[in-house]
Amino acid sequence: MNINHKKLQFIFNLRSANVTDRRLLTIMEQIPRDHFIRNAFQQFIFEDTALPINCGQTSTQPSIIGIMIQALEVTPRCKILEIGTGSGYQTSILAKMGRRVYSLERFQKLSLSARKALEELSFSNVSVICADGTAGLSEQKPFDKIIISAAMDDIPKHLLNQLKPDGILVAPVGRHETIQTVVKVRKTHDSFNYTDLKKTKFLPIVEGKETLKVMPRLTP
Cβ(136)–Cβ(213) under 8 Å? no
Residues 6+ apart with CB under 8 A from 141: 161, 162, 163
Q: Which CATH number does the domain 3-200 belong to among 3.40.1190.20, 3.40.1360.10, 3.20.20.140, 3.40.50.150?
A: 3.40.50.150
Contact between residue 64 and residue 198 where contact means Cβ atoms under 8 Å apart: yes
Domain boundaries along the sequence of the chain: 3-200
Q: How confident is the model at residue 216 (pLDDT cuts 50, 70, 90)?
A: very low
Sequence-ordered list of residues with C-beta below 8 angstroms from that of 159, at least 6 positions apart, any chain: 83, 136, 146, 148, 169
Is the pLDDT at 5 greater than 90? The verdict is no
pLDDT band at 220 (very low <50, low <70, confident <90, very high): very low
Burial (Cβ within 10 Å: 0-12, 13-18, ≥19) of residue 106: buried
Closest CA to 49 of 153, 186, 201: 201
Three-state SS for 5-69 is: HHHHHHHHHHHHCCCCCHHHHHHHHHCCHHHCCCCHHHHHCCCCCCEECHHHCEECCHHHHHHHH
pLDDT 10s digits, 55-89: 999 999 999 999 999 999 999 999 999 999 999 99
- pTM for this model (two decimals): 0.91
Q: What is the pLDDT of residue 209?
A: 72
The mean per-residue pLDDT over the stretch 141-162 comes to 96
pLDDT value of position 211: 55
Three-state DSSP state, 113? helix
Higher pLDDT, 171 or 219: 171
41, 43, 15, 44: which is closest to 29 by C-alpha?
15
Q: What angle do CA 185, 189, 24 make, to 5 degrees?
A: 40
